[in-house]
Amino acid sequence: MSKINSEHTWIDAGYSQFGAEGLEGLQVERLSRITGLNKSGYYHYFGDKETFLEKLMENHQTLASIFAEDLRQIKEFDPEFMEVLIKHTPKLMFHNQLVRNREEKILEKCYNLVNDIIDPIASKLFGNFIGLKDNNAFSFRYFQQVRDTFYSQITLKRMNYLFLRDFMYEARDVIQRALELGSERKKM
């Protein structure tokens, strides 16, 4: 097995394990069993857990760019947005672990960098969906609240069209109702 393939194998396994279990999933012994590679290879490529984490975060940022490109291709929010989310489930589960472990500075930094890539695109799509096409600032704020709620609710089992559709429509209905109430109060 070549150096690049072995190094990438460690990264792929670490990415999956982190997405499933967070930092606890990044034990060298476990990754060695999963990959079938010798632990010495891990230390050869990465040296320590901090360097491995840095490589995982770089990988996540690269994959976020692919996710962003898929978001840019969306023409209709339903069903395309949900389909893109499902397609990128491993990335979302990884990002979910970043949310849950934000007290670690490297994870918080990656979380913010990836949000900087994804949020402008996703919030515009979401804004169109909720009827705020011409108000990017409002759309962005609402999207961030929905995004954070989304990460508190997703699991691998819930990453399916029905859950995502229901979640998005419920969020839209709550926001639209809040906007209506705000409009009614202004009239008073």
Per-residue pLDDT, averaged over 142-165, amounts to: 96
Q: What is the pLDDT of residues 126-146, one digit of tens each?
A: 999 999 888 888 889 999 999
**pLDDT surpassing 60 at residue 173:** yes
Per-residue pLDDT, averaged over 82-100, amounts to: 97
d(CA 188, CA 5): 66
Of 113, 151, 147, the closest CA to residue 127 belongs to 147
Q: What is the pLDDT of residues 31-69, one digit of tens each?
A: 999 999 999 999 999 999 999 999 999 999 999 999 999
- The predicted pLDDT at position 135 comes to 84
CATH 1.10.10.60 occupies which residues in the chain?
A: 1-47
Please classify residue 60 by burial: count the beta carbons closer than 10 Å to its beta carbon, then call 0-12 exposed, 13-18 middle and 19+ buried: buried
Q: Mean pLDDT of all residues in the chain?
A: 94
**pLDDT surpassing 70 at residue 4:** no
Per-residue pLDDT, averaged over 172-187, amounts to: 83
The domain defined by 1-47 folds into Arc Repressor Mutant, subunit A (1.10.10)
- The predicted pLDDT at position 134 comes to 83
Per-residue pLDDT, averaged over 10-27, amounts to: 97
- The predicted pLDDT at position 11 comes to 98
Contact assessment for residue 159 and residue 92, using Cβ atoms and an 8 Å cutoff: yes
CA dihedral sign, ordered 139, 86, 117, 104: positive
**pLDDT surpassing 70 at residue 153:** yes
- The predicted pLDDT at position 45 comes to 96
Stated pTM of the model: 0.91
d(CA 7, CA 182): 54
Model confidence band, residue 2 (pLDDT cutoffs 50, 70, 90) = low
Helix, strand or coil, per DSSP, at residue 69: helix
d(CA 119, CA 178): 22
Of 107, 109, 127, the closest CA to residue 119 belongs to 127
Least confident of 17-21, 73-77, 131-135: 131-135
Residue with tokens 């982190």: 18
- The predicted pLDDT at position 188 comes to 61
Q: Is the pLDDT higher at 136 or at 11?
A: 11
